[in-house]
Chains A and B, each alone.
Chain A
Amino acid sequence: MLIKSKPDILPSEITPESVFHDRRRFLASSLSAAFGVAAAGLPGLSGAAAGDGLRARAPEDLARSAPAQWWNAKFENISPAAHEGGFYTAEALTPYRDVISYNNFYEFGMDKGDPIANSKQFKVDPWSVSIEGEVEKPGVYTLEDILKPHDLEERIYRLRCVERWSMVIPWVGFSLADLIKRFQPTSKAKYVEFLTLFDPSSMAGQRARFTTIDWPYREALRMDEAMNPLTLLAVGVYGNFLPPQNGAPIRLVVPWKYGFKSIKSIVKIRFREQEPATSWNMLAPQEYGFYANVNPDVHHPRWRQDMETRLPQTLLSSSRIPTQLFNGYAEQVASLYKGMDLTKNY
Chain B
Amino acid sequence: MRLATALRWIIFGMSLLPFIVLTLGAVNNSLGPDPADTLIQETGEWTFRFLLLSLSITPLRNLGAGPRVFPYRRTFGLFALFYASLHFLIYLLFLLQLRWSEISEDILERPYITVGFTAYLILVLLGVTSVKRMMRRLGRYWKPLHKLVYLVNILALIHLSWILRTDLTEAVIYASILLPLLAYRVYKYYIGKTSRQFHSSTSS
Q: Do A and B come from one complex?
A: yes
Q: Which of A103-131 contact B (CB under 8 A)?
A: 106, 110, 112-113
Whether, in the assembled complex, B110 has its beta carbon less than 8 Å from a beta carbon of chain A, the answer is: yes
CB proximity of A214 to chain B, nearest CB, Å: 10
| Given known A301-B109, A320-B97, contact A314–B32 (CB-CB < 8 A) | no
Contact B33 A312 (CB under 8 A): yes
Kindly specify which of B65-73, B166-174, B179-187 makes contact with the partner chain: B166-174
- CB-contact partner of B169 in A98, A210, A313, A315, under 8 A: A210
Whether, in the assembled complex, B122 has its beta carbon less than 8 Å from a beta carbon of chain A, the answer is: no
Contact digits for B106-138, partner A, Cβ 8 Å, 1 yes 0 no: 100111100000000000000000000000000
Contact digits for B62-95, partner A, Cβ 8 Å, 1 yes 0 no: 0000000000000000000000000000000010
| Given known A301-B110, A301-B111, contact A211–B34 (CB-CB < 8 A) | no
Among B102, B165, B171: residue with most chain A CB under 10 A: B165
| Given known A110-B164, A302-B112, A304-B102, contact A210–B36 (CB-CB < 8 A) | no
Whether, in the assembled complex, A15 has its beta carbon less than 8 Å from a beta carbon of chain B, the answer is: no
Question: Chain A residues near B97 (CB, 8 Å)?
Answer: 318, 320
- CB-contact partner of B33 in A210, A284, A299, A313, under 8 A: A313
Question: Chain A residues near B170 (CB, 8 Å)?
Answer: 110
Contact B34 A311 (CB under 8 A): yes
Contact A208 B169 (CB under 8 A): yes
Contact A110 B94 (CB under 8 A): no
Contact A211 B167 (CB under 8 A): yes
How far, in angstroms, from A205 to B169 measured CA to CA in the complex? Answer: 11
Contact A313 B34 (CB under 8 A): yes
CB proximity of B192 to chain A, nearest CB, Å: 35
Whether, in the assembled complex, B203 has its beta carbon less than 8 Å from a beta carbon of chain A, the answer is: no
Contact digits for A309-346, partner B, Cβ 8 Å, 1 yes 0 no: 10111110010100000000000000000000000000
Whether, in the assembled complex, B158 has its beta carbon less than 8 Å from a beta carbon of chain A, the answer is: no
Among B32, B97, B164, B171: residue with most chain A CB under 10 A: B32
Question: Chain A residues near B167 (CB, 8 Å)?
Answer: 106, 110, 205, 208, 210-213
Among A94, A110, A209: residue with most chain B CB under 10 A: A110
- A302 to chain B: closest residue by CB: B110
CB proximity of B100 to chain A, nearest CB, Å: 14
CB proximity of B97 to chain A, nearest CB, Å: 6
Question: Chain B residues near A205 (CB, 8 Å)?
Answer: 167
- CB-contact partner of B166 in A113, A209, A211, A314, under 8 A: A211
CB proximity of A99 to chain B, nearest CB, Å: 9
Contact A314 B169 (CB under 8 A): no
CB proximity of B19 to chain A, nearest CB, Å: 15
Question: Chain B residues near A299 (CB, 8 Å)?
Answer: 109
- A167 to chain B: closest residue by CB: B33
Question: Chain A residues near B109 (CB, 8 Å)?
Answer: 299, 301
CB proximity of A278 to chain B, nearest CB, Å: 14
Question: Chain A residues near B154 (CB, 8 Å)?
Answer: none
| Given known A102-B34, A302-B112, A313-B36, contact A212–B29 (CB-CB < 8 A) | no
Contact digits for A279-296, partner B, Cβ 8 Å, 1 yes 0 no: 000011000000000000
Q: Which of B6-56 contact A (CB under 8 A)?
A: 26, 29, 32-37, 39
Whether, in the assembled complex, A101 has its beta carbon less than 8 Å from a beta carbon of chain B, the answer is: yes
Question: Chain B residues near A320 (CB, 8 Å)?
Answer: 97
- A312 to chain B: closest residue by CB: B33
How far, in angstroms, from A102 to B35 measured CA to CA in the complex? Answer: 12
Contact A110 B33 (CB under 8 A): no
CB proximity of B173 to chain A, nearest CB, Å: 9
Contact B168 A314 (CB under 8 A): no
Contact A283 B110 (CB under 8 A): no
Question: Chain A residues near B36 (CB, 8 Å)?
Answer: 313, 315
Contact B168 A212 (CB under 8 A): yes
What are 25 of the A-B contact pairs (CB < 8 Å)?
A94-B33, A102-B32, A106-B167, A110-B170, A112-B32, A113-B32, A208-B167, A210-B168, A210-B169, A210-B171, A210-B172, A211-B168, A211-B169, A212-B165, A212-B166, A301-B109, A304-B102, A304-B106, A311-B33, A311-B34, A313-B35, A314-B29, A315-B36, A318-B94, A318-B97
9 further A-B contacts with Cβ under 8 Å, apart from A110-B166, A110-B170, A165-B34, are: A98-B32, A101-B33, A210-B168, A210-B172, A211-B167, A301-B110, A304-B102, A315-B29, A315-B35
Q: Give 3 closest A-B pairs by Cβ, nearest first.
A: A312-B33, A98-B33, A210-B168
Q: Which residues of A contact B (CB under 8 A)?
A: 94, 98, 101-102, 106, 110, 112-113, 165, 205, 208-213, 283-284, 299, 301-302, 304, 309, 311-315, 318, 320
